[in-house]
């Protein structure tokens, strides 16, 4: 996590971290990178931390309605070098979903994850086309995304506990008529991740569980009642 925070700060990006660790020393270590670190107050998991981080970031000095608020996982260090160009390419959009370039995706990710997330993306694109012909193919399973601060409610008012907190609001953004941009990035996953996870039954089953838990929720979001 500290490597990613240092990379983001070095790229000139203000960084907010909501940390649930019981040890204050962990937050001190994270703060030493230059990030704004807050102990998680909201009860819950990943989704609760995401909503809390959005609320903190939205209130930072200098943040206005047009400001981009970006989110990414701590293990995706390489994303730090892609945010600026991706946001520039999406300058006319309300929401940005970066898309991994296929060659680097295939070369740097565990092979099982390449297949599961490619399948998941194709499935969710097919679902999306039944509701919106104009939506470009999205990298639904990548993780990083960004939105203009004026649309924060789409994320802070959705109560998803885990990955759905990231992805389901994308569907509701489309349903509200917001402009979504899909921008290719030459993202490379850490070599250590591929070495550790490829061929490991536990990680393979985790990928299957993600497909079976997240994707039905994203599909249902196209017809669920709007929450904001």
Output the pLDDT for position 179. 95
Output the pLDDT for position 137. 94
The answer to whether residues 186 and 163 touch, using CB atoms and an 8 Å cutoff, is no
Output the pLDDT for position 23. 85
Output the pLDDT for position 218. 97
What stretches in the chain show pLDDT beneath 50?
A: none
Which residues are within 8 A (CB) of 33 and not within 5 positions of it... i.e. 6 or more apart?
2, 5, 6, 9, 15
Output the pLDDT for position 77. 94
Instruction: Please report which residue ranges of 81-223 form alpha helices under DSSP H.
Output: 83-89, 102-108, 111-129, 153-156, 164-175, 191-197, 201-221
**Strands of the 180-185 sheet, one edge to the other:** 68-71, 145-148, 95-100, 180-185
Quote the pTM value: 0.92
pLDDT one-digit tens code per residue, 206-228:
999 999 999 999 999 999 998 88
């Amino acid at each position: 996590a500290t490597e990613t925070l240092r990379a983001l700060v070095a790229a000139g990006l203000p960084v907010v971290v909501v940390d649930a660790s019981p040890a204050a020393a962990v937050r001190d270590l994270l703060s030493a990178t230059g990030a704004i670190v807050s102990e998680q107050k909201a009860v819950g998991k990943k989704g609760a931390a995401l909503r809390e981080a959005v609320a903190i970031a939205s209130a930072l000095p200098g943040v206005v309605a047009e400001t981009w608020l970006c989110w990414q996982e701590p293990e995706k260090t390489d994303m730090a070098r892609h945010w600026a160009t991706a946001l520039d390419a999406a300058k006319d959009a309300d929401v940005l979903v970066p898309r991994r370039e296929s060659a680097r995706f295939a070369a740097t990710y565990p092979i099982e994850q390449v297949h599961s997330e490619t399948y998941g993306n194709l499935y969710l694109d097919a679902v999306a086309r039944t509701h919106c012909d104009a939506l470009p193919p999205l990298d639904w399973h990548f993780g990083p995304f960004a939105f203009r601060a004026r649309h924060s409610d789409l994320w802070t008012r959705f109560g998803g506990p885990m990955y759905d907190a990231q992805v389901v609001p994308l569907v509701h953004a489309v349903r509200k008529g917001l402009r979504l941009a899909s921008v290719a990035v030459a993202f490379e996953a850490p070599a250590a991740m591929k070495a550790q996870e490829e061929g490991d039954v536990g990680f393979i089953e985790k990928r299957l569980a993600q497909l079976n838990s997240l994707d039905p929720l994203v599909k249902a979001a196209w017809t669920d009642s709007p929450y904001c």
